[in-house]
Chains A and B, each alone.
Chain A
C-alpha cells in the first residue's frame, strides 16, 4: 500500500487477555517504530526495528509487552495480560532507513481499550 497500515483500527479487550497489534510498513522501509499515545498525552517511544532486529527496546513499559518483525516487513506488537492502563492508541511508523534526520511516516494507529 501507499502508506503505513495498522490493524485492527480499534480493539476492545477484557483485562487479562492478550492482544496482538499489526503494522505493515511502507514497502522498502527498513526501519519500523512503535509508539504509544495515551489520552491527551504525547507520543511515547516503545521500540524500533532495523530489519528484523530490535536494537532499542528501551521504551517497552514492562515484560508484558513484546514485538517482533519478520521478513523485514510486517511487525506485531503483543501485549500479554492486558491492564486498563494499557488503553491507548498504538502508532506504528516506518522510514527508509534508521538514519539521522529521516522523517517517520505514521499509520493511523490502533485504538486499544481494556475494560
Chain B
C-alpha cells in the first residue's frame, strides 16, 4: 500500500490567496483526519471524517478554513483567504480503527 498521499508537499503563497491541500487516504480506512503542526502549538486536530461525513470540526480555527471529503479516496482542506499565521505543516491521517493514526508526509504551507 502506498500509504496516505498528500499534495502538494510544499506550498508558498501570498496573503489573501486561496490554498487547497489534498489528501488520498489508505484504501479501506473509514476515518480521515486533518491536523496542523507548528512549533508553538504542536499537533492540533482540525477536523475528522467518518465514512466521508464530517464528525467533529471544532478544531477548525475559523470560517476561512473548510474541508470536504467527496468520496472515500479523496479529501481537501481549503483556506480562503490565507493569512501569514496559517503557515504550518498540515497533515492528513487515516485509520480503520478510530484511534491509530497513519499519517501522510504533510504539506508545508508558507503564507507570505
Q: Do A and B bind each other?
A: no
Interface residues of B (CB under 8 A from A): none
